[in-house]
Amino acid sequence: MGYQATIEKQGMWAIFDIKGDASVAAKRIAPLGLSLPASTNTAKAKDGQHLCWIGEDHWLLLAPAEMENKLLERLDLHHSSLDCRIVHVSDAYTLFTVTGQQADDILAIASPLDTRRKHFPDDGAAYTEFFGIRGLVLRWRDGYLAAVERSYADMISAYFDKISTGSR
């Protein structure tokens, strides 16, 4: 059985892992015009940037690749603060979009996360699993944005192809 959904592997994105004291993290990202999300497992978006609160004192910042140099400059990765560390991890992840009328069905097969809106709101962002592999999921325009470690990208892509087309 095929699904009315489109799964597309994305090109490179600018991705930064941010860990540390929330008040210090807020100051470090302020030059981007962003503030921290209000609650865990949510994201704030502005000007193509998506700041995801994914755990205690832990955020991921995702942005289009063309913003990477500007973000590297503004985030000051070599700042001496021991209370907040920002690490450039763009090359560690591969992103996929899962969109369309049955994107929810694809996610229900791929992940144990309950993505119904009452549990995973419009600004939802959380770590989950895709076919047993740890990954990040964000609610996205007409579906989801999923990120997995780059070393698993080909396998995850093949699994997504199998469930979206119904081929065995």
- Separation of alpha carbons 93 and 83, rounded Å: 25
| pLDDT recorded at residue 69 | 95
Task: Provide the pairing of β-strand 125-130 with 58-64.
Answer: unpaired
| pLDDT recorded at residue 56 | 93
**Alpha-carbon dihedral of residues 60, 64, 65, 71, nearest 10 degrees?**
-60
Q: What is the mean pLDDT of each run of 10 residues along the chain (168 residues)?
A: 88 96 94 94 96 96 96 86 89 96 94 94 96 96 96 95 77
Q: Which CATH number fits domain 13-91: 3.40.50.10860, 3.30.70.1400, 3.40.50.970, 3.40.50.2000?
A: 3.30.70.1400
Domain residues of the chain, as ranges? 6-10+92-162, 13-91
Task: Provide the pairing of β-strand 84-88 with 58-64.
Answer: unpaired
Cβ-count burial 149-165 (b if 16+ within 10 Å, e if not): eeebbeebbebbeebbe
| pLDDT recorded at residue 26 | 95
| pLDDT recorded at residue 11 | 93
| pLDDT recorded at residue 167 | 65
C-alpha triplet 36, 17, 33: angle, nearest 5°: 35
At the topology level, CATH places domain 6-10+92-162 in: Gyrase A; domain 2 (3.30.1360)
